[in-house]
Structure 1
Amino acid sequence: MSRTGRFGENLAINGIDGSYGWPVIGHTFDYLSDTYAFGRTMRARYGDVYRCSAFLQNFIVFNSPDGAEFVLKDEASQFSSKLGWEAFLGRLFPHSLPTMDFSEHRHHRRIMQSVFKKQALVGYVPLIDQVVIGNLRTWPTHQAMPAYPAIKALTLDIAAKAFLGLELKQDTHFINQNFIKLNNGLAAIIPWPLPGTALHQALKARSNIFNYFSPLIPQKRRSEGQDIFSRLCQAQDENGADFSDQAILFHLSNVLAAAHDTSTTSLTITLDLLCQHPEWQQRLREQCLRIDPQDITYDNLESLEEIEWVFREALRLFPPAPQLFRRSIKECQFGNHIIPANTQVMVDCGYIHRSEHYWNEPTKFDPERFSPARNEHKAHPYNWFPFGGGSHTCIGLRFAIMTAKIALYHLLRDYSVFATEQARYRILPITKPRNGLPVILTKN
């Protein structure tokens, strides 16, 4: 007998081994409590494909690189990103790249690619460089400060300059708080926008963000600025079609939310790991000293390869999106498993990144695993995929790595950093340290 969920998805997936957990809530609190430990437990019990229930959904979980490739690369066009993310992004970002499929997705992605091409990235470097230098000068030395909010202010300032071409000094708190509320709505336990709920607050925050940026669109359409906001307002496809105002607002808010919060998360985790491993701080510092701070260019950043190893290792241990979602649009088969049509599927990136099946000593901080001599991440195309995969690979991947290199270059060249206590992380919906990661900076 077929059963459907609140989004019309198929719930009858009992043909695959697994566990639905508690009635109604399923394994929601297992994911919220420790998503990585829960992934290990389920893999040990049920193998690399199993059924599960959480966040008021039933889904089939794939937790192997082969399974991730099957779902995300999707060579046979069997899975919908739009329907897969409907429960999480559908209400908040209904017209953004993750919630588009096939021809619509290709059309919008083709327009947006212009803002992340190499020529555009080259132009963002001096903007980001100036922001990082200015922000670091305000960080106190020889006294404890919470690193997470300081890095969050830094990434918001970078977003303002490079993404928006704006000064947000007076509105930083307003913008920051609205993006926090927006992201808190992504994994809302109560999936209806009842007053006072996370989803209700997220929708109100989105309205605030739209009202803030909407009056700026006409000016940005005429601007000669190099920022992403201007480029989005002026971007056209090969037929001369551009974005509507509504499309610009959805794409801008989605890109800002993703870049602002994931950059904050990844830089915070990288800094935490470097505090735990001061020998890597010194190693990276010696590499940074080889480049004149007056000569930071896109090409020079390529030589900071060991910073990139460390950043990639941080994203391996704490991927910004530990779970990725799709929905099957027709019945298909993976190995011996039949995946029914219209069924939610999850790719457990968090498990794959930390599994002894795919990595050498996976819980160890070991950036050299990304060195050309080892290349553990290249043993399979989907051993390491914190930016997603297939046609929906994060369009800002190179921008994120470039931003991290600039920020870490200036921080490590000029300062030594010590954590006063170990970070304690909340993983979902966005990974962040509960204690703010208190650190002490000393000038080198």
Structure 2
Amino acid sequence: METIASAAKQVPLYAGLPFIGNTLAFFRNPLKTLLILQRQQHRMVHLRIGGRHQYLVFSPEDSKHILQENHRNYGRSLAFQVLKIFLGNGLLTSDGDFWRRQRRLAQPAFHRQKLAALTQTMIAETADWLDELKQRNRQQPVNVSQAFMDVTMRIVCKTLFGSEVATQLDGLSSALDTLNYMANDRLLSPIRVPLNWPTPGNRRFRQAGALVDTFVYDLINQRRKNLDTGVDSGDDLLGMLLSTEDEETGERMSDQQLRDECVTLFSAGHETTAVSMAWTLHLLSQNPDVLTRLRSESKAILGDARLPSPEAFRALTYTMQVVQESLRLYPPAWIMSRLALGDDHIGPYTIPAGSAALVCPYLLHRDPASWSDPDRFNPDRFEPGGEKDQLHAYAYLPFGGGPRLCIGNQFALMEMQILLAMLVRDFDIQAVPDQHIIPRPLITLRPSRPIQIILR
């Protein structure tokens, strides 16, 4: 790393419009704008978005510097303050000692041994969901964007919170969608209307938040009663959080803290997986050779059992390669923002204190300097000893990196592998003609419209 004294070169500024800088370009087409910047081959670029100064890095090495090597200089940016409005102070939005404490409390629920015990629940929920799909009119396309939202919410509620939510799926899913879209609009807008103003948007935001809060607080209260009466074993995440005491004070988490962690895991634990699965089916519908190979592996290893054994899924190596390649092309967390707490120096450049540093997995995953033919869907990149193994570790960041690596990454990969293998074993996948799907970068990388797939 260059010395502080030598870090004096001005970061190239991406010229925008007077007063609003690059806000309009990012509002209209952020991915196109980012790809244009990548082709200019700067090490770093200075942007002005939403009235804020932001510094975008392009290389895996500089991404590692921000996320890992100098992570203590970077806190949660203003983007996370927007998310905090509805997520609260959970693992995704908290920082410092509080975040470290919460991460320590939640980590045991995501250990490999614990996840292995949850596999059977994932398999059973997936089998029930496939039974429901088989009852539908097979001549009509299936909105797989919504279908995966439903099943992943069922899985996250059952495995992490010990709760059935089948009767509340539509309301919860719709409310979380509303909060997601409105937080994204608020993030990009240089003018933020106070939430207590009685605008139509604010009323929708409060109604959606109230619905989610009612569900979560009811869940917490019921679980607490079950634990107190000995009806509940408390061996899932919520049970652990309810019973864990602070080592120094003996205090337990407040209802507000429990609510914040539950809402964070609801949002992150089902929405990102659902979006990724919809993208995966979209890619498979356009690549029948990959689909054929995938189905052959699934049928050979899982057989005809309605509930395959958890051990069988460990042998699905090509299925995991398909999942990993889909996450490369369409990473749910497509961009990450960090607030520089002090000046940082990367090569000849300075990221000033108080500004934001941007790391963009979408660009890293499509960088021709790292990946051959980067826009092509090719799961063989991830075979043992293949292309991925030859690259810098930070060339592939579907779950982030450093200490803030997504706590649920193994949970999500296992869930996607089970959903994908069981689905392609039982159904053929065909694209709906003339369906134009492009990425829509909100807080997560969603498709521009719900993905429709013909399942036979």
Give the alignment's TM-score, normalised by structure 1: 0.89
Structure 1 residues 38, 133: CA separation in 2 closer, same or farther (over 3 Å shift)? Answer: same
Q: CA deviation at 1:21?
A: 1.9
Work out whether 1:97 is the aligned partner of 2:91: yes
Structure 1 residues 199, 397: CA separation in 2 closer, same or farther (over 3 Å shift)? Answer: farther
Q: Secondary structure of the equivalent of 1:186?
A: helix
2:344–2:350 contact (8 Å) kept in structure 1: yes
For 2:302, which of 288, 291, 305 is the aligned residue? 291
CA RMSD of aligned residues (A): 2.4
Structure 1 residues 354, 208: CA separation in 2 closer, same or farther (over 3 Å shift)? Answer: same
CA deviations over 1:208-228 (Å, ceiling 9, x no partner)? 212222133243231225443
- Over the matched positions of the two proteins, sequence identity in percent amounts to 25
Aligned position for 2:151: 154
Aligned position for 1:4: none
Structure 1 residues 348, 103: CA separation in 2 closer, same or farther (over 3 Å shift)? Answer: same
The correspondence of residues 105-254 of structure 1 with structure 2, limited to 5 A, is 105-139=99-133, 140=136, 141-188=138-185, 189-190=188-189, 191-192=192-193, 193=195, 194-196=197-199, 201-221=204-224, 222=227, 223-236=232-245, 242-254=252-264
2:127–2:306 contact (8 Å) kept in structure 1: no
Q: CA deviation at 1:297?
A: 4.4
For 2:285, which of 261, 271, 275 is the aligned residue? 275
Work out whether 1:335 is the aligned partner of 2:343: no
Q: Secondary structure of the equivalent of 1:103?
A: helix
CA deviations over 1:274-300 (Å, ceiling 9, x no partner)? 111111111111111222436644443
Structure 2: distance between partners of 1:122 and 1:200: 42
Give the alignment's TM-score, normalised by structure 2: 0.87
Q: CA deviation at 1:404?
A: 0.5
The correspondence of residues 287-436 of structure 1 with structure 2, limited to 5 A, is 287-289=297-299, 290-292=301-303, 293=305, 296-376=308-388, 379-421=391-433, 422-425=435-438, 426-436=440-450
Structure 1 residues 238, 433: CA separation in 2 closer, same or farther (over 3 Å shift)? Answer: same
Structure 2: distance between partners of 1:353 and 1:121: 28
Q: CA deviation at 1:236?
A: 4.7
Structure 2: distance between partners of 1:215 and 1:441: 37
Pick which of 167-176 and 259-268 moved more: 167-176
CA deviations over 1:101-134 (Å, ceiling 9, x no partner)? 2332221101001111122212211211111111
1:18–1:46 contact (8 Å) kept in structure 2: no
Pick which of 392-401 and 308-317 moved more: 308-317
1:32–1:427 contact (8 Å) kept in structure 2: no
Pick which of 59-68 and 95-104 moved more: 95-104
Q: CA deviation at 1:76?
A: 5.9
Q: Secondary structure of the equivalent of 2:429?
A: strand
Structure 1 residues 197, 37: CA separation in 2 closer, same or farther (over 3 Å shift)? Answer: farther
Structure 2: distance between partners of 1:102 and 1:245: 21
Q: Which ranges in structure 2 are unaligned for 5 or more consecutive residues?
A: 1-7
2:92–2:264 contact (8 Å) kept in structure 1: no
2:13–2:46 contact (8 Å) kept in structure 1: yes
Aligned position for 1:5: none
Q: Secondary structure of the equivalent of 1:126?
A: helix
Aligned position for 2:44: 49
Structure 1: distance between partners of 2:407 and 2:441: 23
Structure 1 residues 409, 134: CA separation in 2 closer, same or farther (over 3 Å shift)? Answer: same
2:361–2:398 contact (8 Å) kept in structure 1: yes
CA deviations over 1:12-60 (Å, ceiling 9, x no partner)? x994212252245433343344333211211233612111122332211
Pick which of 157-166 and 29-38 moved more: 29-38
Give the counterpart letter for 1:58 in structure 2.
Answer: H
2:31–2:441 contact (8 Å) kept in structure 1: no
1:181–1:198 contact (8 Å) kept in structure 2: no
Pick which of 246-255 and 54-63 moved more: 54-63
Q: CA deviation at 1:439?
A: 1.5
Structure 2: distance between partners of 1:119 and 1:370: 25
Pick which of 368-377 and 246-255 moved more: 368-377
Q: CA deviation at 1:362?
A: 0.4
Structure 2: distance between partners of 1:25 and 1:173: 38
Structure 1: distance between partners of 2:65 and 2:356: 14
1:80–1:327 contact (8 Å) kept in structure 2: yes
Q: CA deviation at 1:333?
A: 0.6
1:184–1:198 contact (8 Å) kept in structure 2: no
Give the counterpart letter for 2:407 in structure 1.
Answer: I
Structure 1 residues 236, 408: CA separation in 2 closer, same or farther (over 3 Å shift)? Answer: farther
Aligned position for 1:441: 455
2:275–2:332 contact (8 Å) kept in structure 1: yes
Q: Secondary structure of the equivalent of 2:87?
A: coil
Q: Which ranges in structure 1 are unaligned for 5 or more consecutive residues?
A: 1-12
2:148–2:277 contact (8 Å) kept in structure 1: yes
Structure 2: distance between partners of 1:419 and 1:226: 42
Give the counterpart letter for 2:374 in structure 1.
Answer: P
CA deviations over 1:390-427 (Å, ceiling 9, x no partner)? 11110000000011011111101111110113451322
Structure 2: distance between partners of 1:197 and 1:63: 39
2:21–2:48 contact (8 Å) kept in structure 1: yes
Work out whether 1:257 is the aligned partner of 2:267: yes
Structure 1: distance between partners of 2:84 and 2:20: 20
Structure 1 residues 333, 211: CA separation in 2 closer, same or farther (over 3 Å shift)? Answer: same
Structure 1: distance between partners of 2:203 and 2:57: 31
Pick which of 272-281 and 202-211 moved more: 202-211
Structure 1: distance between partners of 2:428 and 2:180: 32
